[in-house]
Structure 1
């Protein structure tokens, strides 16, 4: 009787450990594949340079929009 309880416990622990290892492996694989492969830093900088800023906003009050960069009149923080 004790031998079967030990086996069931060992199998349960092994399945939990395998599930954790599988989850960790999948998360590592997804993280590695989510990064842009083959995109050079020069091409990403060129893509950023082509974009136009639509508006600036205060991080503490994101609903208020401004036409140009500077300091926020509300919190004296830099607009982003």
Structure 2
């Protein structure tokens, strides 16, 4: 959990961090990290399952895939 929290904090902008950036930081810190090790196919599923983060799926439009952002619930005011 600390690995995920640290990655979110290292990459957030306005309190939100893109899941792609979180994944990049996690992989850089722990190259052997794989969400499947914890029973989840995707990093977003693992982060959602922890219930420690809020997730926000943002649509970019023009047929582009949505971007998922996360923020640590501890930092909400």
Higher helix proportion (structure 1 or 2): 1
TM-score bracket, shorter-length normalisation = under 0.3
* TM-score of the aligned structures, taking structure 2 as reference length: 0.17
Higher relative contact order (CA 8 A, sep 6+): 2
Using structure 1 for the length normalisation, give the TM-score. 0.16
Q: Which has the higher strand share?
A: 2
- Larger-gyration structure (1/2): 1
